[in-house]
Amino acid sequence: MTRRIAVIGGGLIGRAWTLVFARAGCEVRLWDLDPEVRARALDELAETCRLSGDDPSAIAQVRVCDDMAAAVDGVEWVQENGPENLQIKREIYAELDRLAAPDTILASSSSALVASLFAEGLAGRSRILVAHPVNPPHLIPVVELCPGPDTAPEVMDRAEALMHAVAQVPVRLTREIDGFVLNRLQAVVLAESLRLIEEGVVTPEGLDHTICHGLGRRWALLGPMAAINLNAPGGVKDYLARYAPTMARLSDDAARGEAFTERVADILAAAMPPPSQVPELSRQRDERLAALRRFLRDND
Amino acid sequence: MTRRIAVIGGGLIGRAWTLVFARAGCEVRLWDLDPEVRARALDELAETCRLSGDDPSAIAQVRVCDDMAAAVDGVEWVQENGPENLQIKREIYAELDRLAAPDTILASSSSALVASLFAEGLAGRSRILVAHPVNPPHLIPVVELCPGPDTAPEVMDRAEALMHAVAQVPVRLTREIDGFVLNRLQAVVLAESLRLIEEGVVTPEGLDHTICHGLGRRWALLGPMAAINLNAPGGVKDYLARYAPTMARLSDDAARGEAFTERVADILAAAMPPPSQVPELSRQRDERLAALRRFLRDND
């Protein structure tokens, strides 16, 4: 039987999710509050497919709906992509919880808000979780599945199974945590990077090269744990026996929140391509991500 | 005129460096203290070429020398890959400084020791620096160039030019810093990762997936600064205006050196492939890194 999915919100992330589900053969119902977004949605999906090299016939699986009730009717999963505003999220979830059948799972793409903040007090809070993608999810497959304190384990099981079924890579967290995993790791890298740049140890370009021609290459193939497991003859325990003292010393000395200064923002703004180039550079990034996705699929 | 390079130490890193220089057309003189390492060196280089897909004819550029003096005679650059032991490094550099012509640059592959520690007091300390590669340098191109307090700026200029000439990616640091840039960034990622794993928020496998199917894909194409420059419509300043408070909060809460516990080492050792699989998994990693290197060269 064809799986049926609702996508709420037709911006960049909502459209990318729509493509993820549609190209996996799901029937997708897309709704956005803004009629103009709804009117453009199918054309923009076609353009997204063209850029990513996905088969545009997937779009035949998508139906744009005129109201939220029609979108969520009879679906197994709602992927919500509303604004990162707590009041709006609370209103959306109250509405979704009222409209969706009891066994429909309600999943938020939120990166900033944890589920307890907007699920609290709702009758259906056990079916609400965060399914946090990386932008754009049709090109970067990881999805962090973060439960709230009331999310049912079987909801998490179904979430994990669905993400596998649509060829994403679910990472299941056991409990609610600010920033989930991905942004916690990104935050420490940014803090230390900004400090090294502001202190003039390295240029922004040099910092980027260190990652994209260095650690990033390892990390595109192996995560950090698999990488250190191969960086000592006796595996990860041997690695930690040899290097933990050094790594602990460097961590103790690492920058924290104070590294996010106005001054370093100015240094970066002066060094990086200007905002006018952001759309074209983003298009190029997505083309390269699509090619990398094909490469990694073929070289697993 | 053919450039002439000496590689001191014929272990994994020394052989990978030898291939970097030889495939770029340099004449390489390789020396190791151990006669058995010297005897095997050319065969092992041939095997390294086979695995990486490099043209084995590059090996014709390599001459294995029986003593250090012959290796460094008339070379422009010495790449030293001795043990990470301060006393041994000091002895090697005293010897290299005595044997090498005054304008020969002496560069160490050290990741743990900064140049001032082993260059101090030597007549030629202005020509000594660290040129820290990522293992293995014939597959991962970044090289951190870290001066000591006495390293001459023109030595750094020549180091940068040579690395470009042999198709590596030099990152020039302006001053000596513990861990350079790469290991400082690796350290903060490891600390936070180990904490999240030890606290049971995520499994080691889930942690790795978050990077290799998530952030690592961006970071293989763009460094973290270029990535955030595209993650807000107004570029990096807009990104920091929106997200710096969140990122600062997450950094403030991040793990430090205390995360490197015995307990998490045991958790990881139980979860990861055992040491017996390290050689085969390393071979697979290198094959994939070689393929990724070709992919990135073709999709720049």
Domains of chain B by start residue, with CATH? 4-172 (3.40.50.720), 182-298 (1.10.1040.10)
Query: CA distances (Å), B285 to each of A84, B139, B281, B289, B291, in order?
Result: 39, 10, 6, 6, 10
Our CA-based measurement puts residue B290 at a distance from the nearest CA of chain A, in whole angstroms, of 10
Predicted confidence (pLDDT) at residue B300 exceeds the cutoff of 90: no
Q: Rounded CA gap, B77 and B127, in Å?
A: 10
Q: Looking at residue B239, what is its pLDDT?
A: 96
User: Which of B114, B145, B184 is the best residue to mutate to test the A interface, defined by the most A CB atoms within 10 Å of its own CB?
Assistant: B184
Average the pLDDT over B161-168 and give the result.
98
Strand order across the A169-172 sheet:
A62-64, A27-31, A4-8, A77-80, A105-108, A128-133, A142-147, A169-172
B167 interaction partners in chain A (CB closer than 8 Å): none
Cis (ω within 30 of 0) for the bond into A83?
no
Considering chain A, what is the average pLDDT of its residues? 97
Distance of CA A210 to the CA centre of its chain: 24
* CB contact (8 A) between residue A226 and residue B234: no
Average the pLDDT over B117-127 and give the result.
97
Cis (ω within 30 of 0) for the bond into A136?
yes
Half-sphere exposure of B137 (CA within 13 A, CB side): 29
Q: Looking at residue A102, what is its pLDDT?
A: 97
Our CA-based measurement puts residue A104 at a distance from the nearest CA of chain B, in whole angstroms, of 25
The tens digit of pLDDT for each residue in A25-83 reads: 999 999 999 999 999 999 999 999 999 999 999 999 999 999 999 999 999 999 999 99
DSSP-based three-state secondary structure for A186: helix
B254 interaction partners in chain A (CB closer than 8 Å): 184, 187-188, 191, 254, 256
A245 interaction partners in chain B (CB closer than 8 Å): 260
The answer to whether A86 contacts chain B (CB < 8 Å) is: no
Q: Nearest by CB to A223, from B208, B231, B237: name it.
A: B208
Q: Looking at residue A89, what is its pLDDT?
A: 97
The answer to whether B294 contacts chain A (CB < 8 Å) is: no
Locate A227 and state its tokens.
């990488």
- Above 0.90 for ipTM, yes or no? yes
Q: Looking at residue B299, what is its pLDDT?
A: 85
The tens digit of pLDDT for each residue in A71-104 reads: 999 999 999 999 999 999 999 999 999 999 999 9
The tens digit of pLDDT for each residue in B1-22 reads: 799 999 999 999 999 999 999 9
Contact B109, B143 (CB under 8 A): no
B271, B272, B277, B281: CA torsion to nearest 10: 150
Q: Looking at residue A299, what is its pLDDT?
A: 85
Q: Rounded CA gap, A285 and A132, in Å?
A: 20
3-state secondary structure chain B: CCCEEEEECCCHHHHHHHHHHHHCCCEEEEECCCHHHHHHHHHHHHHHHHHHCCCHHHHHHEEECCCHHHHHCCCCEEEECCCCCHHHHHHHHHHHHHHCCCCCEEEECCCCCCHHHHHCCCCCHHHEEEEEECCCCCCCCEEEEEECCCCCHHHHHHHHHHHHHCCCEEEECCCCCCCCCHHHHHHHHHHHHHHHHHCCCCCHHHHHHHHHHHHHHHHHHCCHHHHHHCCCCCHHHHHHHHHHHHHHHHHHCCCCHHHCCHHHHHHHHHHCCCHHHHHHHHHHHHHHHHHHHHHHHHCC
Q: From B93, B95, B169, select the one nearest B134 (Cα to Cα).
A: B169
Average the pLDDT over A210-228 and give the result.
97
Predicted confidence (pLDDT) at residue A300 exceeds the cutoff of 90: no
Q: Rounded CA gap, A288 and A275, in Å?
A: 20
Considering chain B, what is the average pLDDT of its residues? 97
The answer to whether A39 contacts chain B (CB < 8 Å) is: no
B242, B245, B248, B249: CA torsion to nearest 10: -130
Q: Nearest by CB to B220, from A188, A216, A248: name it.
A: A216
Our CA-based measurement puts residue A98 at a distance from the nearest CA of chain B, in whole angstroms, of 31
* CB contact (8 A) between residue B184 and residue A171: no
